[in-house]
Homo-oligomer: A and B are copies of this chain.
Amino acid sequence: MRDFSQDHRWLSINTATVRQQHGRDWPLLDILDACARLEIRAVSPWRDQVHAAGLKETARTIKAHGLELSGYCRGGMFTTADDAGFRAALDDNRRAVDEACELGAPCLVLVVGGLPGALQGRAAHKDIGAARQQVTDGIAALLPYAVERRMPLAIEPLHPMFAADRACINTMEQALDVCDLLDPQRSGALGVAVDVFHTWWDPKLEAQIARAGRERLLAFHVCDWRIETRDLLNDRGMMGDGVIDLRRIRGWVEAQGFDGHSEVEIFSTRDWWQRDGETTLRTCIERHRACV
């Protein structure tokens, strides 16, 4: 297992972690500058932040700072109420693949979608089995394009508390079943993003990480689970402030040969997004060394 205690060369910052500071948006290019100043070597930007900053300008800034990417967040959202919506989702995902290529990302992370319409407040139906089938169909339809552009797709199983509105793939086992179905040859074109927030509770996590193996472990995200989680979406904890046995899980991932970045992804309306962004980045560095 790698020793993280001496430096932060394996740390990546998911830019959602400092999406806001003092409760206001922190522009992506400023985030990238701050990361470079702190000798953070990798980031994973969110699409809306990239669009706001401009794709070309973002790519140029990343290159100028010599930053690597640990992923691009995010494609997915395949579940729609009608065929026109499904086609539009696929088009949008192809654009996300293109952007990931332009930015030099190692994978496009997929948050696959929940019940159609639920994220907008009204579900078109309650058939989660049908939503899951639509997700499989969507990934199947996107995969040839991603293969052509050589952009691996990383399915991110989301915590079951997001099954209704964000992602109906909720366990590693389920994500890997889709991988087995669509990429049985384990080509590396399709895999998973393991986020400890979403998966730490899973009694089958160790076994499913082993099942995934190196070819399918495309990203590793860390944060922590606060005992008192005050909001389902935006109350993630800083590493060390919760109950997740981070080192144990990283050990399982590295036992499969994973040698990529440990990407910090924290959504925190009440806490971290209220602080100074650079202070948050410094805390990420400290905790990466002490707790991950």
Contact = CB atoms under 8 A, between A and B. Distances in A.
A84 interface: no
Contact of A201 (B170, B228, B242): B170
A225 B164 contact: yes
Interface in A243-265: 243-245
A171 B203 contact: yes
A194 to B, nearest CB: 15
Contacts of A168: 201
A73 to B, nearest CB: 22
A229 B122 CA distance: 13
Interface residues of A, number: 32
A279 B243 CA distance: 40
Contacts of A165: 227
Copies, count? 2
Interface string A118-132: 100111001110001
A118 B168 CA distance: 28
Nearest to A118: B227
A28 to B, nearest CB: 29
A268 to B, nearest CB: 16
Given A121-B228, A232-B229, A243-B118, A202 B126 contact: no
Interface of A is mostly: loop
A289 to B, nearest CB: 18
B123 A243 contact: yes
A23 interface: no
A61 B229 CA distance: 39
Given A161-B232, A225-B164, A227-B165, A203 B132 contact: yes
A246 to B, nearest CB: 9
A161 B243 CA distance: 12
A19 interface: no
Contacts of A243: 115, 118, 123, 126, 164
A159 interface: yes
Nearest to A231: B230
Contact of A160 (B118, B161, B244): B161
A160 B126 contact: no
Interface of A: 115, 118, 121-123, 126-128, 132, 159-161, 163-165, 168, 170-171, 174, 200-203, 225, 227-229, 232, 242-245
6 contacts: A118-B227, A123-B227, A123-B243, A127-B245, A128-B245, A165-B227
